[in-house]
């Protein structure tokens, strides 16, 4: 990648990161009806810092995966069944933040400070896991597809030696950590439901990969767990 392409990729990264940050901020603060929400500011600051540090690192180490992750969430090569499922995940993600904001507005939840701190740690772990997965797997698309144009192959190293879907494993930390950091039991309930949707997606995704990706069925026999080592 030449300097011009690298600079263009970095500009896209920064632009999309700031856009998603603004959207997430609106989903939080508008329902909350106030900007006086320290936990939300911590959440956004961690997301901005983690996203930029990870993205800028990937722009140097693995620009192909960063290009893939910056693509739209709905793609032509995406499996038809994945579109409504991914849409449900995106709607649930938005609902999680809106409900956290409404929770703050009406004072519905009381989450101990130590659990908020644990949530922040879990959220940072999610960012770290996402980064490690993308560094290891240049085919880790946001959509379910077999990327034949880029020579899609089975990845069995790094976190993929422990679980078959480490990105989904990292999402567990997000969907539990973010609501706790934001101080909302109701948002946590949404997060747990989203973990269930991810589990369903993992099962359906594996059915596709076992048929269309050479070597995946054998890989699945050797790596027993889908999302959580020793559990499932």
For residue 75, pLDDT beyond 80: no
**Cα(205)–Cα(164) distance, integer angstroms:** 11
The Cα 165–Cα 205 span in angstroms is 10
CA distance 218 to 229: 18
Per-residue pLDDT reduced to its tens digit, 101-132: 999 999 999 999 999 999 999 999 999 999 99
* pLDDT tens-digit map of 39-54: 999 999 999 999 999 9
- pTM score: 0.92
CATH of 3-222, one of 1.20.1250.20, 3.20.20.80, 1.20.120.1630, 1.10.8.350: 1.20.120.1630
Angle between helix axes 113-136 and 38-61 (nearest 10 degrees) is 10
């Amino acid at each position: 990648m030449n300097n011009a392409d690298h600079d263009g990729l970095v500009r896209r990264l920064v632009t999309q990161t700031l856009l998603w940050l603004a959207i997430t901020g609106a989903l939080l603060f508008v329902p909350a009806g106030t900007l006086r929400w320290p936990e939300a500011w911590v959440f956004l600051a961690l997301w901005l810092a983690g996203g930029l540090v990870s993205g800028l690192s990937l722009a140097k180490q693995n620009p192909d995966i960063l290009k893939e992750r910056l693509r739209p969430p709905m793609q032509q090569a995406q499996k038809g069944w994945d579109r409504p499922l991914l849409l449900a995940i995106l709607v649930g993600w938005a609902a999680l933040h809106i409900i956290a904001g409404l929770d703050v507005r009406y004072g519905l939840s009381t989450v101990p400070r130590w659990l908020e701190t644990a949530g922040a740690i879990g959220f940072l772990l999610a960012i770290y896991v996402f980064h490690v997965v993308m560094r290891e797997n240049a085919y880790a698309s946001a959509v379910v597809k077999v990327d034949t144009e880029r020579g899609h192959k089975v990845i069995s190293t790094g976190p993929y030696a422990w679980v078959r879907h480490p990105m989904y494993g990292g999402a567990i930390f997000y969907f539990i950590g973010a609501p706790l950091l934001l101080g909302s039991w109701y948002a946590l309930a949404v997060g747990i439901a989203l973990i269930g949707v991810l589990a369903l997606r993992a099962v359906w995704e594996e059915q596709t990969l076992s048929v269309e990706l050479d070597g995946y069925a054998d890989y699945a026999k050797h790596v027993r767990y889908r999302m959580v080592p020793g559990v499932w």
